[in-house]
Structure 1
């Protein structure tokens, strides 16, 4: 039986100094995509010291490890999984931006005006540390669970570094669940930053690079060439119209409308008819939309806009995730008891938090929701709006409330042993 005042009991038992020291140490381990091992070594030690059992480290690619483990309960409860990615985006320009200030070191984890600053603070080391500190909080409060807790921290989620960012870490982990090497959870919390909202739905996406090749000609006789820039203009106009049509089709209550956004154009450069142009775009998909169908539809729009057989088009998809062209959208029933329970746990820990919202980003719950048919949500401290920027930081009060909320949810979902 869980006491009605468990939130107050947990808040009173929270070791603030330990929790803050854990997050500062995590930020201090540079783990830009490809360098996950720097952070995993710390996590391995922390997991063992906090009483997580069967802690394992295994490489998903050479020199790039995942780490996972569990806390077995007394029996008779459900298995709850916490997972997050260990890698962060780069810090290019950070030191120059903050030169001469206390924020200059991107891994300094400085405490400034009630906030902890640094690369990876929000995305998503606060979430990882929240899950670990929540377990320690349960132990400090003398609460033993019936169900099992699982913890997994995986690499290769972020894009941006050459040859990385294909979710290789989580692919390795879910394959171990499929093979029976890791026990199958009943519910998953992925610790992407949500400002302690609960996200039961997320967008899908694909990124497309389009190369349009014509024929160069001296500017004085343009009729001898095939203008790739002019063809690109026609393609962009058609794509913008296509985006409007996509947006008009449907609106999801949590993640809004789909669309297509052109993100880059390069071409020309000589005093001549431009021979080659490249376009880049990203397509947002709603749950239920097929990545393959959406890509085929877009390609038909592109080829139809050119209409000249002498102008060639090459189309590629550089960001395959759980699908060869991109990442699938995902959603679960927002009325599931576990979702309501998590929302309530957060709301009790911090006023004004715990709302149901949708993820305006893509991360790795589709590997659980779509591939394994296991319900999963995003929830953690941190604000996605300052992640990947020079402003990345986490509010300490939100982080500490998240620890209490996670510990309360662990107890409510897994059950407390008498």
Structure 2
């Protein structure tokens, strides 16, 4: 059977009604970060129904569970892992924005003009559901696998809720792999939305909160004070120059150029010399850059811009992920066989998709690529550009194509038992 014939066989066997019901049901289970258990209960039902065995569920934090399981193959094939996060961002303002329309309820999952709407539709329940539906599709097509297909759905990837968003879920799951209680995969697909492109590389990042403290003084005698706002201006000028310098160093073929962005400034407000100012910035890193070295460079720039020893600086890094100060950049070799295979299969399934690109976001692939030395990519239906917004939605054509492409890739990567 040719690749085209096999793809046609899968397309013909796809139960679109079941796949759509799975997807809409997932959106209907509100899982804003911290409330992952609501969605995990639904995932457990669906995974059991679809014949995923060795199901395990365990809290990574009290009341916040991960869930994982696998379909064991006949033997002699590779082990593939699909992983995604079960939590979504908040829905503040959604109902007010869409009041009086079919979109008013962010969890109703209406189908409008061939697209499924709702919070979490793209980020990333379409990816989770397409991976689960792909296994059902292989069953419907009578395909038996040699290798194992594993599924893991973890919480705490999204940030924005107080005390959350430090990748606590994936840290717990990866610790189980290191301990040997969960098998190490040969290849991982993290189902972040990519519009069915394949992302083998991603940026790294860190956030720095900088507090600059001087000394207040009455406005009529400013010479008695130490102006934190004026010092902040010098710091910002130095940081922007530093951003230009790092952007000029190199351009990654998939991820682009590094830079930093000052995202906030707070200070002053009294009729007096400003005593304290706070700056926030985010730094983008390219694969191969060191978080430690990049953070040290920022600190040197900030401290070097202040020439008054009485003005103090404090720098904090509030967004540690796989590293204490942030999230590491990562890359799987784009020419690696499974990356090329996935790219080709997705492109054959849906015209114009399957292109190799760099992730314009940070997510949890570095826990596998850097932490476990397991090659990983991002690939799934959904468009990151409308996620976290009131426009979040996924094309049904893209969703169905993702199911077929994932099923095809599972078969080719894990191997098929020939009757």
TM-score (norm 1): 0.99
Q: Does 1:406 align with 2:406?
A: yes
- 1:61 and 2:86 are equivalent in the alignment: no
Partner of residue 37, structure 1: 37
Secondary structure of 2:402's aligned partner? helix
Q: 1:127 offset after TM fit, Å?
A: 0.3
What SS is found at the alignment partner of 1:293?
helix
SS at match of 1:107: coil
For 1:272, the equivalent position in structure 2 comes to 272
Measure how far apart 1:233 and its partner are.
Answer: 0.5
After the TM superposition, which residues 219-258 of structure 1 pair with which residues of structure 2 at under 5 Å, given as runs? 219-258=219-258
Aligned to 1:70: 70
1:314 aligns with 2:314: yes
1:126-137 to 2 correspondences below 5 Å: 126-137=126-137
Q: 1:223-273 CA distances to partner (integer Å, 9 max, x unpaired)?
A: 111111111110000000000000001100000000000001111111111
Q: SS of the residue aligned with 1:260?
A: strand
The one-character-per-residue Cα deviations of 1:337-394 (angstroms, maximum 9, x if unpaired) are 1001101110111011000000010000000000100000000000000001111110
Give the total of aligned pairs.
Answer: 418
CA distance in 2, matches of 1:307, 1:58: 53
Cα distance in 1, alignment partners of residues 4 and 346 from structure 2 = 14
Alpha-carbon contact 1:2-1:416 (below 8 Å) kept: no
Question: How far off its partner does 1:320 sit?
Answer: 0.2
Kindly indicate whether residue 364 of structure 2 is the aligned counterpart of residue 364 of structure 1: yes
The Cα shift of 1:3 comes to 5.2
Q: List alignment gaps of at least 5 residues for structure 1.
A: none
CA contact (8 A) 1:103 1:110 kept: yes
Secondary structure of the residue aligned to 1:138 is helix
Q: Give the structure 1 partner of residue 299 of structure 2.
A: 299
- What secondary structure is seen at the aligned counterpart in 2 of 1:142? coil
Q: Secondary structure at the match of 2:169?
A: helix
Distance, in Å, in 2 between the alignment partners of 1:214 and 1:75 is 67
How is 1:118-267 mapped onto 2 (pairs within 5 angstroms)? 118-267=118-267
The 1:231–1:3 alpha-carbon spacing in structure 2 relative to 1, beyond 3 Å, is closer
Once superposed, what is the RMSD of the aligned Cα atoms? 0.8
Which residue in 2 is equivalent to 1:96?
A: 96
How much has 1:309 moved relative to structure 2? 1.0
Q: Partners in 2 of 1:390 and 1:408 — Cα distance? A: 33
Question: CA, structure 1 residues 2+48, in 2 after alignment: closer, same or farther (shift >3 Å)?
Answer: farther
Q: C-alpha separation between the residues in 1 aligned to 2:317 and 2:307?
A: 22
Residue 86 of structure 1 corresponds to 86
1:402 & 1:169 partners in 2: Cα distance? 25
2:379 — aligned with what? 379
Q: Distance in 2 between matches of 1:187 and 1:282?
A: 30
> Which segment drifts farther, 119-128 or 3-12?
3-12
Per-residue CA shift, 1:297-355, capped at 9, x if unaligned?
10000001112111111100000000000000000110111001101110111011000
* Counterpart position of 2:352: 352
Between the aligned partners of 1:362 and 1:5, the Cα distance in structure 2 is 37
| Alpha-carbon separation, structure 2, partners of 1:401 and 1:107 | 23
Superposed CA deviations along residues 80-131 of structure 1, whole A, max 9, x for unmatched, are 0000000001111111111111111111111111111111100000000000
| Alpha-carbon distance, 1:4 to partner | 4.3
Report the secondary structure of 1:264's partner residue: strand
Tell me the alpha carbon deviations over residues 52-97 of structure 1, each in whole angstroms, 9 at most, x when there is no partner.
0011110000000000000000111000000000000111111111
In 1, Cα distance between equivalents of 2:292 and 2:173:
25
Provide Cα deviations, 1:2-56, integer angstroms capped at 9, x if missing partner: 7541111101111111111111110111111110000000001100000000111
2: CA distance, partners of 1:52 / 1:403:
17
1-structure distance, mates of 2:124, 2:191: 7
Paired residue secondary structure (1:151): strand
Range with greater deviation from structure 2 (317-326 or 100-109): 100-109
Aligned to 2:342: 342
Give secondary structure in 1 for the equivalent of 2:248: helix
Contact residue 2 and residue 412 of structure 1 kept, 8 A:
no
